[in-house]
Structure 1
Amino acid sequence: MKSNTVQTLTTVLSNVAVSAGLVFLIFELRQNSAIALSQVRQERSLSIIQEYSNYAQDNEFSNLVARAIRGTNFDSVSDDEWHQIWGYESARMTRLEDVYFQHKEGLIDDSIHNFSLKMGASKLPLWKWLRVVSVNPEYNAAVEAFANSPDYQPTKYEIEFSAWAKKNEYSIGGVGVQTF
């Protein structure tokens, strides 16, 4: 064999090896991405399970949530209980903001993101009334846009709370708040 032929064969084999290496690298990156997504989802699920387990063990708070959020008996809630609900809803908004952020980074799939937007939109009247504040203006805009989209159907809770909130003023530190 001539040295040109050997050099050409070596170059071709090197290029094939590099191409095969790139294919394996792409495969490994996809696999690592899927593993990372799975870990994020598992950690979020465990966090939510832990949160709700803690609430379930607190009879007083469980009764408050059942009465005020699931039972829509808003008049039965005292000022101190509204402050508890404010903390609960602040934590919920933070969790939903996190979903928005992770979706934007490609770490959460569309179904979870859309569910979180729907949850945020359904809580929007309560958040406004309680003055639960989001630190992410993009998240605020996304929830508002979702709530105003023609495909969004307000929940029974949202409709009932909005009607109740229009008639009731919430006082934080003696300052009345009416956002509707």
Structure 2
Amino acid sequence: MGDPWTDVGVVETYTGRQFDVFDPVAEAVDLDDIAAGLAHTCRFGGHCQHFYSVAHHSLHVSRELPEDEPRLQLLGLFHDAAEAYVGDVPRPLKARYDVFERVEAEVLDAIWRALDVDPPDETEWERVMTADDRLLAYEAGNVLEDGSWAGEPPDLAYELRSDSIETIRTQFLSRSETLRDRV
């Protein structure tokens, strides 16, 4: 890789690697970078009433999926993993400019390869996104000033005040290891 200041797509990661978001390769992916990036990234573009990380959200999405389907839970844990490299872009922006979705999809493909996990099929992805949408409505109703745009919050009982960044990072890594061992 060249100079990260002139190579527009290159970002430095938590572990000091250089990751090109426009040309993502599996060899540049590191699980520690994903866990740290997601633990440091606040949901809703940072507009929560208190800090609530994407890693914490991902843990809850994973737990929303059936316990007897560890692969599905693993897919849920990593559904937002690309955000470790590209940040949490709010849905309205993604909906308007599909380039965000394309970049995220390419980064996520590199992550699946790096983790040696087959990408989700359409049915699996739909189930993960259903869990993600349930969490979105629950989170919006509990961590935003007015999250009514997300619909009626479901009756869930997840803690939405993130522990320390280090604690959430460790929990994410531990859940990843547990699920990967079960798949």
TM-score normalised according to structure 1 size:
0.30
Q: Which has the larger share of helix? A: 1
Larger radius of gyration: 1
Identify the structure with bigger relative contact order (alpha carbons < 8 Å, sequence gap 6+): 2
TM-score normalised according to structure 2 size:
0.29
